[in-house]
Structure 1
Amino acid sequence: MTALALDIGGTKMTAAIVGDDGRPGEALTVPTPKAEVWKACTDLLDAVAVGADIGRIGIACAGPVDTTEGIVAPINIEEWKDGFAIANAVQEQFPQASTSLATDGGCAALGEHKFGAAQGVDDVLSIVVSTGIGGGLVLGGSIVAGRSGNAGHVGHIVVPGSTTPCACGGLGCVETVSSGPSAVRWAQEQGWTGTTGAELAGAAADGEVVPITALQRAGVALGQAIASAVALVDVNLVVIGGGFAQAGPPLWDPIQESAALHARLKFLGGLEIVPAKLGALGTLTGAAVLAASA
Structure 2
Amino acid sequence: MHTDLVAALDIGGTKIAGALVDGDGGILVRAQRATPAREDGDTVMAAVDQVLGELTAAPLWGGVAALGIGSAGPVDASAGTVSPVNVPGWRGYPLVERARDAVGGLPVELIGDGVAITAAEHWQGAARGHDNALCMVVSTGVGGGLVLDGRLHPGPTGNAGHIGHISVDLDGDPCPCGSRGCVERIASGPNIARRALADGWRPGPDGETSAAAVAAAARAGDPVAVASFERAAQALAAGVAATATLVEIDIAVIGGGVGKAGDVLFTPLRRALERYATLSFVRRLTVVPARMGTDAGLVGAAAAALAGHADRTGTATAGV
Question: TM-score of the superposition, structure 1-length normalised?
Answer: 0.89
- Aligned residue for 1:258, secondary structure, equals helix
Matched, 1:272 2:286: yes
* Structure 1 range deviating more: 7-16 or 84-93: 7-16
Once structures 1 and 2 are overlaid, which stretch shifts more, 196-205 or 64-73? 196-205
What whole-Å deviation, never above 9, does each CA across 1:41-83 have from its counterpart, x for those lacking one? 3333334443334542101123322111011223344443x43
| Distance of 1:283 and 1:30 partners within structure 2 | 15
Shift of 1:105: 1.9
Q: Does 1:14 align with 2:17?
A: yes
**Is residue 63–residue 134 contact of structure 1 (8 Å, CA) maintained in 2?**
no
Paired with 1:106 and 1:62, the residues of 2 have a C-alpha distance of 10
Partner deviation per Cα, 1:229-272 (whole Å, 9 max, x = no partner): 11111111111112221011111112111121101011112111
Q: Distance in 2 between matches of 1:188 and 1:38?
A: 39
Task: Compare 178-187 and 97-106 and name the one that shifted more.
Answer: 178-187
1:256 to 270, 278, 290: 270
CA offset digits 1:101-132 (Å, max 9, x no partner): 11222222222221111222111111111221
Q: What is the aligned partner in structure 1 of residue 45 from structure 2?
A: 38
Deviates more, 1:233-242 or 1:209-218: 209-218
8 A Cα contact 1:117 1:276, kept in partner: yes
Letter of the 1:218 partner, please give it.
Answer: A
Contact between 1:223 and 1:254, CA under 8 Å: does it hold in 2?
no
| Alignment of structure 1 residues 18-97 onto 2, 5 Å | 18-25=21-28, 27-36=30-39, 37-51=44-58, 52-53=61-62, 55-80=65-90, 82-97=91-106
Distance 1:291 1:69 in 2: 17
The count of aligned residue pairs is: 293
Unaligned runs of 5+ in 1: none
Which whole-Å CA distance do the structure 1 matches of 2:71 and 2:285 have between them? Answer: 28
CA drift of 1:149 comes to 2.0
The separation in 2 between residues aligned to 1:165 and 1:43, in whole angstroms, is 40
Give the corresponding residue for 1:199.
213
- 1:245 and 1:158 map into 2 onto residues whose CA distance is 20
Report deviation, 1:140: 1.1
Percent identity over the alignment is 39
For residues 176 and 94 of structure 1, the distance between their equivalents in structure 2, rounded to whole angstroms, comes to 39
The aligned residue for residue 285 of structure 1 is 299
- Structure 2's unaligned 5+ residue stretches are 310-320
Taking the aligned partners of 1:96 and 1:175, their CA distance within structure 2 comes to 38
Structure 2 contact 18–32 (Cα < 8 Å) conserved: yes
Q: 2:228 aligns with which of 214, 221, 224?
A: 214
Amino acid at match of 2:217: A
**Structure 1 Cα separation of the partners of residues 153 and 229 of structure 2:** 30
Alignment check: 8 A CA contact 1:11 1:131 kept: no
Q: Tell me the secondary structure at the aligned position of residue 150 of structure 1.
A: coil
Q: 3-state DSSP class of the match of 1:25?
A: strand
Matched, 1:136 2:139: no
- For residues 162 and 79 of structure 1, the distance between their equivalents in structure 2, rounded to whole angstroms, comes to 34
2:171 and 2:56 map into 1 onto residues whose CA distance is 45
Residue 273 of structure 1 aligns to a residue whose secondary structure is strand
2: CA distance between counterparts of 1:42 and 1:206?
Answer: 47
- Per-residue CA deviations over 1:128-148 (Å, capped at 9, x if unaligned) read 112211111111111112232
Matches of 1:288 and 1:260, distance apart in 2? 35
AA at the equivalent of 2:142: I
Larger Rg: 2
Name the counterpart of 2:252.
238
- The residue matched to 2:300 in structure 1 has which SS? helix
Is the alpha carbon distance of 1:288 and 1:23 closer, same or farther for their aligned partners in structure 2, counting shifts above 3 Å? farther
**RMSD over equivalenced CA pairs, Å:** 2.3
